[in-house]
Amino acid sequence: MFNLERREKSKSESAYQVIKDLIMKGHLTREDPLSVNLLASKLEMSKTPVREALQKLESEGFVRIIPNQGVVVCDLTVGEANYMYELRMALEGYLLRRVVPLITEEHIRSFRVILEKQRCAMEKNDPYEFMKHDNEQHLYLHKIYYNPIIFDVMNRLVDRIYFGGIHALRLPGRMDATLQEHVLIVDALEAKNLEKACQALEYHFTKGLSSTTTSVEIHLLKKE
């Protein structure tokens, strides 16, 4: 019985990851007709792990399950983007104030390595890879000053932030601008200049929100 439950859980996790990746990369959109039966057939799985995967994705805001009708992929909305950035500014702004006094040369080297990964992704024009390292840099703050409750909240938002960020990074020049904004944050951290670090973070989030909402609005116009 235990092994059967474990296998079912593994299948559910696999279905969750595959479906989420398809949504993140734009291969599944609001326009695609979806159902548990259809996804189970495509993934060559039984309905139970697919249903469990969809329930998890619904709790994270990626899909909406409509009883007796099917499943709908949820677009990012302007309102959701605003709420996410407000929360990020509050939590990461607090973290930054805690982090600045703790910064070491080793931390700065790690930040610079992540920046170089972003630069390489930008040169390849790969928004998916770029956004992965974008999130990596923001989450690195938690390694320097770890608050388990703040980390849990941010970690639950990471994939939704990634989803919104991918759309924003497709705007002309946004990858390069984002990289330069990250450089300003790291430079301020290296100088242990709290005021400049907070200003750089706020500027980055202001520009990020503006780009994200613009990309959402463009997407909505294309659907009309």
pLDDT tens for 81-125 read: 999 999 999 999 999 999 999 999 999 999 999 999 999 999 999
Tokens of 187: 């430079």
pLDDT tens for 27-73 read: 888 888 888 999 999 889 999 999 999 999 999 889 999 987 889 98
The whole-angstrom distance between residue 77's C-alpha and the CA centroid of its chain comes to 14
**For 126, phi and psi rounded to 5 degrees?**
-115, 95
Tell me how far apart the alpha carbons of residues 14 and 21 are, in angstroms, rounded to a whole number: 11
Neighbours of 13 (CB within 10 A): 14
Task: List, in order of start, the domains of the chain with CATH numbers.
Answer: 2-73 (1.10.10.10), 78-223 (1.20.120.530)
R_g over Cα of the chain: 19
Q: Where are the alpha helices (DSSP H) in the chain?
A: 2-24, 36-43, 47-59, 78-99, 105-123, 127-144, 148-169, 174-190, 194-223
Tokens of 99: 């982090």
